[in-house]
Amino acid sequence: VTPAPFTSPLTAPLFGDPEVAALLSEEAFVARMIAVEVALLAACAKTGLADPASAQGAAERLTATTIAPGDLGAGTARDGVPVPALVAMLRQRLGADGSALHVGATSQDIVDTASVLQWRDLLTLMEARLAALLDALLAASEAHAETMMVARTRSQAATPITLGLRIATWAQPLITLEADLPRVRALLLRVQFGGASGSASAVGEGAEVLTNALAAELGLRPAPSWHLDRSGPLALGGWLVGLTTALAKIARDLIVSGRSEIGEIRAGEGGGSSTMPQKSNPVGAEAIVTLAQYAAALQPLLAQAASPLEERDGAAWALEWLALPQMAMAAGAGLRHALALVGSMQADGDRMRGQLAAGQGAVMAEAATVVLARHLPRVEAALCVKDALARAQGEGVPLAQVLADDPDLGPLEDWPACLSPDRAQPAAESMRRRILATRAPRT
Amino acid sequence: VTPAPFTSPLTAPLFGDPEVAALLSEEAFVARMIAVEVALLAACAKTGLADPASAQGAAERLTATTIAPGDLGAGTARDGVPVPALVAMLRQRLGADGSALHVGATSQDIVDTASVLQWRDLLTLMEARLAALLDALLAASEAHAETMMVARTRSQAATPITLGLRIATWAQPLITLEADLPRVRALLLRVQFGGASGSASAVGEGAEVLTNALAAELGLRPAPSWHLDRSGPLALGGWLVGLTTALAKIARDLIVSGRSEIGEIRAGEGGGSSTMPQKSNPVGAEAIVTLAQYAAALQPLLAQAASPLEERDGAAWALEWLALPQMAMAAGAGLRHALALVGSMQADGDRMRGQLAAGQGAVMAEAATVVLARHLPRVEAALCVKDALARAQGEGVPLAQVLADDPDLGPLEDWPACLSPDRAQPAAESMRRRILATRAPRT
Amino acid sequence: VTPAPFTSPLTAPLFGDPEVAALLSEEAFVARMIAVEVALLAACAKTGLADPASAQGAAERLTATTIAPGDLGAGTARDGVPVPALVAMLRQRLGADGSALHVGATSQDIVDTASVLQWRDLLTLMEARLAALLDALLAASEAHAETMMVARTRSQAATPITLGLRIATWAQPLITLEADLPRVRALLLRVQFGGASGSASAVGEGAEVLTNALAAELGLRPAPSWHLDRSGPLALGGWLVGLTTALAKIARDLIVSGRSEIGEIRAGEGGGSSTMPQKSNPVGAEAIVTLAQYAAALQPLLAQAASPLEERDGAAWALEWLALPQMAMAAGAGLRHALALVGSMQADGDRMRGQLAAGQGAVMAEAATVVLARHLPRVEAALCVKDALARAQGEGVPLAQVLADDPDLGPLEDWPACLSPDRAQPAAESMRRRILATRAPRT
Amino acid sequence: VTPAPFTSPLTAPLFGDPEVAALLSEEAFVARMIAVEVALLAACAKTGLADPASAQGAAERLTATTIAPGDLGAGTARDGVPVPALVAMLRQRLGADGSALHVGATSQDIVDTASVLQWRDLLTLMEARLAALLDALLAASEAHAETMMVARTRSQAATPITLGLRIATWAQPLITLEADLPRVRALLLRVQFGGASGSASAVGEGAEVLTNALAAELGLRPAPSWHLDRSGPLALGGWLVGLTTALAKIARDLIVSGRSEIGEIRAGEGGGSSTMPQKSNPVGAEAIVTLAQYAAALQPLLAQAASPLEERDGAAWALEWLALPQMAMAAGAGLRHALALVGSMQADGDRMRGQLAAGQGAVMAEAATVVLARHLPRVEAALCVKDALARAQGEGVPLAQVLADDPDLGPLEDWPACLSPDRAQPAAESMRRRILATRAPRT
């Protein structure tokens, strides 16, 4: 429909995210590249690699400089990266003070470090949204700690659980992702400074000192050149896919739970049809699923980017540019939709109870077996319950009734009480608490 | 670097294509959706499903109507498709004449048919560029029908071929793709008209007649509803990946052939480094490779879109929107770069001849075996040549000389003549002609 | 669970297919390689490239030869292909008659042509199964031409269709795939004969004649060398993904239709749970979905294989071996499961009728609007029906009743008759016929 | 070529790995499932959930039990998992003592926990091989700390580095992967015990105690049920792709470095051609690249598996079985080949020096600019050097000579000394040490 689905005014409200778009815009990127050059000037000044007065003057003048991304387009097409054109333009503006600009650096140093600054902002945003989503999920889980519903395994009614437990399982991978952020940041938020071939040879022995000074200027971790070590981008990509994937699980459940025949959970405002007034389409949830599949499909590109040839591989490196910002947009839009869905979620207790009773209490068959196994060998107990269930469904009588009416089994237990779905609540509650306890206390 | 690499002014000159971008823009898409509604009005008028005067009047008024894509953004976010908002807006503009608008149609009919109109334009553009590229390749192949070079298999020098043959192998899959266009068009350029659930029930028995009239208005093939049959989008995706993949083969060869140590072929203007004056980076070829890997990674999304659930699947369908326009941009930009590279390609005959002679004529070892097998059993001949080659390389003497000097083998043949790389030209030429003969004569 | 899920005795009954496994086994592959060498001997004899008596004798002796795949394992690891070891072993067995063996051929000629012979068998098998599946689908569609059910769009009840139409939409992409087989065969079933570097230089001017003779021996299409043109494997891969994808649509529908809450269609014998007697898990359908996602994920590897570097690229070529046989197994197992599911499919008319009446007739809302639009402007009609539906659902009264009871709208039409779901049958039937008419008559 | 490339005797020596194959075989898997059932019996005995004597007796009898995987094949096909058939078979063998078998467990508990036991073994093996590879790389890097070579960026000669630095960059992502193992283990090596629907309801309040006892029996981490939280499998997949990807970088470099025209590094025994005696094909390195592309392509399947529907999703879960063992085989075989290649690596110092001198010293152009910038403004210095280089290449005179002969520039520096490639050694050495210092000291 458009080659820019995340930013087109037609589709961005569905697939995009305005905050992520602002952080990752080409304007932001150019500004970040200039910020890196400015920090490099300051670092050179501090470490004696440039005349302090001249470098500091240049840095100050550049701080106020802006360059329109389009002015670097032709240079990007010619050189494969915008940096040579950018440096030429900045040098022209600085005149004699331009000498210290870009000292010892290569294009990749500027592009990678500027990108890292954008990723830092992105992770800050993602962390806040993820925390908000987890808070909302935990509150919803708590609120539904006693709302009984049918669990479905392999699309079939299984046994009773609580809605609170299901919501806790939604939160479960998100808790892991929240806890994983320090690792992702440690791998990703590293300064890049390797010069032409990764040895930073143009600044000679001062390379490490300069790199550390540059890192300090930018608030990044010092590190040896990672021109060829894409562990950071790989970690970011894996984290984003983990996130969109976890959101898609919530969305898929909501789509099914909101089906006309089920209607156990409503979330979001349903989208309208152009012809059918009764429709309440799960548009937000569908978008989350779409975006998750899209983000996952891009992940192999990051692996290909992480096998660069020799000291720099233009074809491999650029794959990160075609994949990571798009994955970030998918994650941002996914979180936005998920927050709206979870925030508006409403359970329909009647329909949930209706499903618990459907099939003459079939979902209690496992529980009946467990109870009966107190009296009979397990295999026999299982067969007895299977027979009783067949009878119940054949005759249209609840399973508990069939068991109670059975001359042999009836006297063994108070079957209606044993087979109340509510009996499953404590186990679900215990598991729910165990899951939620894995979240680190927030400080 | 930006979430819109194909359209951002910073990166579009490298990864994008202005003509494809125009064909696939959101403005073009909205215009195409209106065109479909207009054609539907006209078809309703002709088939009696609407009052002819009113419908024709509405059609005429809409023809001049434009709607800014951004005005449909909120509706797209709400409904998952822009059509309900579009129809509401158009109805408002038409007032009483709006009755016949969108008769019997559903959102998918409008979106799919409008997309097909864009794909039709895209295929026209691709066909022309592909023909131009094939023309250029065939001319270059012809021009180098006698330029001998070393073939490399598994990255090792193998036997002599001609540059003309190598260029013919570049053309080979492109010839198949050119011949495949009618099939892709037959599958893809079909009108979509299925109404709410694919049965076109709102127009009852008139559905087929109306569909055919709509197809006629738009110049598309009539067809039953293909809401759930994504054979057309799958075929388009396969064709685009076939194309980007074929271009990537050319690009990969050019990158290696232009390496500093090889330098046999130069193509394109080399990109500059921000620090190294001697560099002539293969920027265009690298972009082709990057774009091909990107397009191939998106292909599984089309398969997922082709397994929709029930009568419409919002999550699956939207995958086409996130994949196909991007694949089309990759193909467009890839063709643009390939045309520039092939158009500027220059062979360095000296370096090619140098490689033919390298290794004391190792690339003639297979030919030597074939010749010697006229006199000895094949296995013995192979061993003899292997020994001779080892001697040649150990002593730094050409293989032909070693064979000529051998008291037993020397008299058998005129070895220097037999082992001239030029002896390999006729076979290469024959294969070259056989490959190029598979291209259908252009009319 | 096992690195060989298609052939392990533990999992092959679920994910594998014994017939496909036999066709694609390593034993079959080795036999096919020998068959190609035999055919090459015969072709050499006929075209004078070898002594007829000796070559014919060698061919006859090899026809009865078998080699255990494991005997070629070390050679495959050493050379990257089994052919050098195979040729050495065959030469040893032939002694003096071995001279004409493998004349002019390279490893890729043997591997590619042997593979093509296996693909030919596979396509024969696939075609027969696909025809059987289409026959079964068409019969089921016919049988359910009047079985009304609720269509679901975006997971919501939409309007009535027939089960016959839904089944026809299952068949729709399969009809395209059946019709596409001649194209796939034409691209794929070509003899490969290019020699060391694709120019068939070792046999000089006789290359084309020899290739044609070899093709004739094997019943393949003659063609110039396609060492570097992977259009055939790409076409096969696309066809297989199209197939698994189309099967997955059937499977996904069956899983949902067989959910406990819906239960409209039963297919297959449900799988058992280790703990829950009531479960009837849709194991076959799930396997189809799993296999389809797997096959689609492998498709990008074929694109990567289709961009080989220079005259042979060992890394790229081998990707076909890791992808195509697995995709073929997925397609074979998918067809096997689909045949079992479609063959055992049973519709539950009661539950279908129950869903048609659910929501007080909400699925007839679009039809009500169409009918009412005979009397009122369309937009007004739509609003009236929307209001009436809200009233119906609020009061628990059928929509038709609410309309009939309305003092203004009641007299306009016979609402219960108008809003009978059966009214939607003719449109569904017409579309069903249009879809099925696209299948070519079988001869 | 075969649908089981990792285990077929034809291809396993190339693509497979015997140790990984043994760890992940179906026999090992069945044994691990039995081991989990045994541990569950023991845990039940210890926690009072089963009669200690009977359960312990059953556990002892099962410890010696083996079941042929093929005996579970039909059950796997019927139920989608082998567990119901396995449990039935074990119960039959245990007779009356079978009561406590599988108490509270569901199929997924057994399959996931058994798999985790296999992954534990796999990670032990991978860790040892990775450590051996890193040791070999570090030794090679050390040995070549002073071997100067040309760095190539974007396939063009760039500036001098040391081979030691290049080898250090190969190790760089591997060091990160080694350090990441504790995290992967913490996420992955968790006991799975959730029962029918993830709430472990069949064992009621004792669930957590039983789970912890089971974990203790098996030496796994206790954890709440992770039926739906696939963070562990995702982490394993990401780690394996990171590994294959890092190996592929080494392999791609070796393929290029071993090209006929370059020949700077030899590694491995070259594979033979069936026709060309001079060939030394980089078979092992190509296999690494192929396997890495294959493993990366499977990664999206793990993301799809991590979005399961509701409480268990048969289609999603099984994707892990089709992806993870294959990725593990690819990693195992990749490490095996990489160890062989690195262990046999030989540098050709002459050819490296030859390339450093090629192009009249073009690779020293950046260094010349840096030196000259001590005397001139940087931009002027860059232009001067660019001119000098053009003159050098035009006249066939080394760049240092041109600069020395220049009346203005000549006296400024001792150009031949300044432009010796050896001047680049200290910077490369410093970066090399910084990279290798990131490896944690081994205890």
- pLDDT one-digit tens code per residue, C309-355: 999 999 999 999 999 999 999 999 999 999 999 999 999 999 999 99
Closest residue by Cα to residue C332 from C269, C243, C249: C243
Q: Do A107 and B326 touch (CB under 8 A)?
A: no
Q: What is the pLDDT of residues C90-102, one digit of tens each?
A: 999 998 888 889 9
* Residue to test with chain C: of A265, A278, A280, A301, most C Cβ within 10 A: A278
Note the pLDDT of residue D443.
63
Q: What is the mean pLDDT of chain D?
A: 95
Burial class of D343 by CB neighbour count within 10 A (0 to 12, 13 to 18, 19+): middle
**Which residues are within 8 A (CB) of A58 and not within 5 positions of it... i.e. 6 or more apart?**
A41, A94, A97, A98, A100, A101
Q: How many CB atoms lie within 10 A of CB D408?
A: 10
Q: What is the pLDDT of residues B133-184, one digit of tens each?
A: 999 999 999 999 999 999 999 999 999 999 999 999 999 999 999 999 999 9
Element housing B219 (H / E): none
Q: Do A278 and C363 touch (CB under 8 A)?
A: yes
Q: What is the mean pLDDT of chain C?
A: 95
Q: CA D63 to CA B280: how far, in whole Å?
A: 67
The helix/strand/coil state of B271 is: strand
Contact D107, C273 (CB under 8 A): yes
**Which chain D residue lies closest to B367 (C-alpha atoms)?**
D276
**DSSP string of B228-270, one letter each residue:** S-THHHHHHHHHHHHHHHHHHHHHHHHHHHTSTTT--EE-SPP
Q: CA D330 to CA B252: how far, in whole Å?
A: 25
Note the pLDDT of residue A362.
92
Note the pLDDT of residue C270.
76
Closest by Cβ to A430, choosing from D177, D207, D377: D207
Give D152 to chain B, closest Cα distance, Å.
9
Q: Which residues pair with C266 in a beta bridge?
A: C346
Burial class of C417 by CB neighbour count within 10 A (0 to 12, 13 to 18, 19+): exposed
Calculate helix-pair angle for C207-218, B425-436, nearest 10 degrees.
50
Q: CA A90 to CA B37: how far, in whole Å?
A: 51
Q: Do D10 and C73 touch (CB under 8 A)?
A: yes
**Which chain B residue lies closest to A255 (C-alpha atoms)?**
B315
pLDDT at C70 over 90: yes
Contact D10, C76 (CB under 8 A): yes
**Which chain A residue lies closest to D297 (C-alpha atoms)?**
A300
Contact D360, D393 (CB under 8 A): yes
* Residue to test with chain A: of B275, B304, B324, B329, most A Cβ within 10 A: B275
Q: CA D429 to CA A43: how far, in whole Å?
A: 22
Note the pLDDT of residue B441.
83
**Which chain B residue lies closest to D355 (C-alpha atoms)?**
B261
Note the pLDDT of residue A424.
96
Q: CA C288 to CA C340: how far, in whole Å?
A: 12
Contact A369, A382 (CB under 8 A): yes
Q: Do D280 and B386 touch (CB under 8 A)?
A: no
Give D379 to chain C, closest Cα distance, Å.
39
Contact D231, D187 (CB under 8 A): yes
pLDDT at A272 over 80: no
Q: Kindly state the average pLDDT of the residues C299-318.
A: 98
pLDDT at A413 over 80: yes
Q: Do D229 and A427 touch (CB under 8 A)?
A: no
Q: Kindly state the average pLDDT of the residues C240-264.
A: 97
Give A425 to chain B, closest Cα distance, Å.
33
Calculate helix-pair angle for C83-94, C107-143, nearest 10 degrees.
110
**Which residues are within 8 A (CB) of A313 and not within 5 positions of it... i.e. 6 or more apart?**
D154, D155
> What HEC string does chain A produce?
CCCCCCCCCCCHHHHCCHHHHHHCCHHHHHHHHHHHHHHHHHHHHHHCCCCHHHHHHHHHHHHCCCCCHHHHHHHHHHHCCCHHHHHHHHHHHHHHHHHHCCCCCCHHHHHHHHHHHHHHHHHHHHHHHHHHHHHHHHHHHHHCCCCEEEEEECCEEEEEEEHHHHHHHHHHHHHHHHHHHHHHHHHHCECCCCCCCCCCHHHHHHHHHHHHHHHHHHCCECCCCCCCCCHHHHHHHHHHHHHHHHHHHHHHHHHHHCCCCCCCEECCCCECCCCCCCCCECHHHHHHHHHHHHHHHHHHHHHHHCCCCCCECHHHHHHHHHHHHHHHHHHHHHHHHHHHHHHHCEECHHHHHHHHHHHHHHHHHHHHHHHHCCCCCHHHHHHHHHHHHHHHHHHCCCHHHHHHHCCCCHHHCCHHHHCCHHHHHHHHHHHHHHHHCCCCCCC
Note the pLDDT of residue D85.
97
Q: What is the mean pLDDT of chain A?
A: 95
Higher pLDDT, A335 or D370: A335
Closest residue by Cα to residue A237 from D330, D247, B295, D300: D300
Higher pLDDT, D271 or C392: C392
Closest by Cβ to C362, choosing from A255, A278, A366: A278
Q: Which residues does chain B have within 8 Å of residue C165's beta carbon, measured at their own beta carbons?
A: 198-199
Closest by Cβ to D276, choosing from B158, B277, B280: B158
Contact B50, B103 (CB under 8 A): yes
Give B50 to chain D, closest Cα distance, Å.
46
Structure tokens at A76: 């990007």
Closest residue by Cα to residue B168 from B127, B140, B130: B140
**DSSP string of D267-296, one letter each residue:** -SPPBPPSS-TT--B-HHHHHHHHHHHHHH
Tokens 């954890």 correspond to D223
Q: Kindly state the average pLDDT of the residues A136-155.
A: 98
Contact C62, C37 (CB under 8 A): yes
Q: CA B189 to CA B193: how far, in whole Å?
A: 13
Q: Do C309 and B91 touch (CB under 8 A)?
A: no
Q: CA B94 to CA A147: how far, in whole Å?
A: 51
Note the pLDDT of residue D205.
85
Q: Do A307 and D438 touch (CB under 8 A)?
A: no
* pTM of structure: 0.97
Calculate helix-pair angle for B207-218, B26-47, nearest 10 degrees.
130
**Measured in whole angstroms, how far is the alpha carbon of residue B351 from the centre of its chain?**
31
Kindly indicate the confidence band of residue C443, based on its pLDDT and cuts at 50, 70 and 90: low
Chain C residues within 8 angstroms (CB to CB) of chain A? 150, 152-159, 255-256, 258-262, 270-271, 273, 275-283, 286, 300, 355, 358-359, 362-363, 365-366, 369, 382, 385-386, 389
* Residue to test with chain D: of B153, B155, B254, most D Cβ within 10 A: B155
Q: Kindly state the average pLDDT of the residues A138-149.
A: 98
The helix/strand/coil state of C300 is: helix
Q: Do A277 and C369 touch (CB under 8 A)?
A: yes
Structure letter (DSSP) for residue B440:
P
The helix/strand/coil state of D347 is: strand
Structure tokens at D11: 């291809």
Tokens 């458009």 correspond to A2
Burial class of B57 by CB neighbour count within 10 A (0 to 12, 13 to 18, 19+): middle
Closest residue by Cα to residue C344 from C256, C262, C259, C282: C282
Q: Which residues does chain D have within 8 Å of residue B372's beta carbon, measured at their own beta carbons?
A: none
Closest residue by Cα to residue B285 from B243, B259, B247: B247
Q: CA B111 to CA B82: how far, in whole Å?
A: 8
In angstroms, the first-to-last Cα distance of chain B is 45
**Which residues are within 8 A (CB) of A47 and not within 5 positions of it... i.e. 6 or more apart?**
A206, A209, A210, A213
Kindly indicate the confidence band of residue C271, based on its pLDDT and cuts at 50, 70 and 90: confident
DSSP H stretches of helix in C80-162: 83-94, 107-143
Which chains, if any, share at least 3 CB pairs under 8 A with chain A? B, C, D
Which chains, if any, share at least 3 CB pairs under 8 A with chain B? A, C, D
Q: Which residues does chain D have within 8 Å of residue B252's beta carbon, measured at their own beta carbons?
A: none
**Which chain C residue lies closest to A153 (C-alpha atoms)?**
C281
Give B364 to chain A, closest Cα distance, Å.
30
Q: How many CB atoms lie within 10 A of CB B212?
A: 17
Question: Angle at CA A146, nearest 5°, toward A143 and A147?
Answer: 85
Chain D residues within 8 angstroms (CB to CB) of chain B? 150, 152-159, 255-256, 258-262, 270-271, 273, 275-283, 286, 300, 355, 358-359, 362-363, 365-366, 369, 382, 385-386, 389
Q: Do A155 and C256 touch (CB under 8 A)?
A: yes
Contact C342, C137 (CB under 8 A): yes
Q: CA A207 to CA A193: how far, in whole Å?
A: 8
Contact B167, B174 (CB under 8 A): no
* Residue to test with chain B: of D155, D269, D399, most B Cβ within 10 A: D155
pLDDT along chain B (443 residues), means of 10: 94 98 98 98 94 92 94 97 97 89 96 98 98 98 98 96 98 98 98 97 92 98 98 98 98 97 91 76 97 98 98 98 98 98 96 94 91 89 92 94 95 94 96 96 72
Q: CA A348 to CA A144: how far, in whole Å?
A: 11
Note the pLDDT of residue C158.
95
Q: Kindly state the average pLDDT of the residues A190-217.
A: 95
**Which chain B residue lies closest to A287 (C-alpha atoms)?**
B315
> What HEC string does C163-227 produce?
HHHHHHHHHHHHHHHHHHHHHHHHHHCECCCCCCCCCCHHHHHHHHHHHHHHHHHHCCECCCCCC
Inter-chain contacts counted by CB atoms under 8 A, chains A and B: 252
Burial class of C411 by CB neighbour count within 10 A (0 to 12, 13 to 18, 19+): exposed
Q: Which residues does chain D have within 8 Å of residue A438's beta carbon, measured at their own beta carbons?
A: 224
Element housing C432 (H / E): helix C425-436
Residue type, B128: A
Q: CA B51 to CA C378: how far, in whole Å?
A: 13
Closest by Cβ to B80, choosing from A20, A276, A281: A281
Q: CA D193 to CA D212: how far, in whole Å?
A: 10
State ipTM.
0.96
pLDDT at A443 over 70: no
Contact C196, B165 (CB under 8 A): no
Higher pLDDT, A50 or C171: C171
